[in-house]
Amino acid sequence: MVFDFLKGEFIDVISWLDDTRDTMVWRFDRHGQAIKMGAKLTVREGQAAVFIHEGQLADVFGPGLYMLETNNMPIMTTLQHWDHGFQSPFKSEVYFVNTTRFNDQKWGTKNPIMARDPEFGPVRLRAFGTYSMRVSDPGKFIQEVVGTDGEFTADEISFQIRNVIVQQVSQVLAKSGIPVLDMAANTADLGKIIANAITPQVAEYGLLIPEFYIENISLPEEVEKAMDKRTSIGVAGDLQKYMQYNAAEAMGQPGSAMGAAMGAGMGAGMGMGMAQNMGPWGASPAAPPPPPAPPPVPAAKLWHLAENGATSGPFAEADLAGLAAAGRLSRASMVWTPGQDGWKMAAETDLVRLLDSLPPPPPKP
């Protein structure tokens, strides 16, 4: 604010320097309830100056430097019936209006919104987010909202704006038909619909909502817990394994009812097992079960012998021992047994141990 008095009586310069972040309207303090004709009016960027003359809206000035005269105050001139310039002071209230954006304004549903979900049926929804607002029509804002308030802040109008927003949010969400699980993917579109719905209502206050955001749409806490359980079951895949996993978790939690029950169950099972091992009360323990029978002896191999282009057999190893003693089986003899890859010399097979065990020929007399 700049005060400059001419002859200690009249205000010469009218301006407002805003050093706050939430003041929307500030009334200029006058000296002697009079403004000198020809005084300088300074309106900075992001401001508007509104003149109220005898309770009526007069002139509205945008950013710029003005000399207050009859030629640039048409409405004031009409109200005062001025038909020529003069130097007499006039009485008027001057309100400076902040026309910049007021960002990060909060909104939220105080009570849950009832909606019908195509998958879950009736549900209760809560939503919250942020918005920005600014004065689009300073004259209307003074008339409809501020009145004679000498200093008007954003908090004084934000409560009413929140009521308008919540009303439209309730209607849009209830009528959207979008499943709850898909609402997170559609918050941008829902935000645009809500912003378009509230625009005509806030315009009646001389305001504009340039930005509107839905940050979250949520269900009651107990419903969200049930959905988390359902998601966990889907991730687990096997319901039986999921139940086993839950039981194992409960056992690991000291003091839980499930853990105590499972512990008692395990103790009872161990006791029954011990009782079975001990036998009837007062009796000796039952005899241990007999050892398992040994595995069957594998069948002996049967061999075939190739001699002079013909085959003979099959022969057991005992038969082959006789043939070896008779000279019909030697290391160079060709033999075959099932499972063997083709005919091989006896020296290359298991028969070599049989041939090695034969005694040498008897000595000559």
Fold of 102-222: Tetrahydropterin Synthase; Chain A (3.30.479)
Kindly give the parts of the chain with pLDDT less than 70: 1-11, 30-33, 82-88, 233-242, 245-246, 248-287, 296-299, 358-365
Looking at residue 350, its pLDDT comes to: 76
Return the H-helix or E-strand segment holding 107.
strand 102-108
Looking at residue 359, its pLDDT comes to: 67
Percent of the chain with pLDDT over 70: 75
Looking at residue 7, its pLDDT comes to: 42
Strand 10-14, strand 23-27: pairing: unpaired
Looking at residue 147, its pLDDT comes to: 83
CATH class of the domain comprising 303-356: alpha beta
Looking at residue 264, its pLDDT comes to: 55
| The dihedral formed by the CA atoms of 38, 43, 48 and 49, expressed in degrees to the nearest 10 | -30
Tens digits of residue pLDDT in 269-317: 555 555 455 555 445 556 677 777 777 666 677 878 887 778 887 888 7
**Cα→Cα distances 286→275, 277, 280, 326, Å:** 11, 7, 9, 60
Looking at residue 234, its pLDDT comes to: 66
Instruction: Scan for tokens 């310069």, then name that residue.
Output: 13
Number of other residues whose CB lies within 10 A of the CB of residue 164: 18
Looking at residue 360, its pLDDT comes to: 66
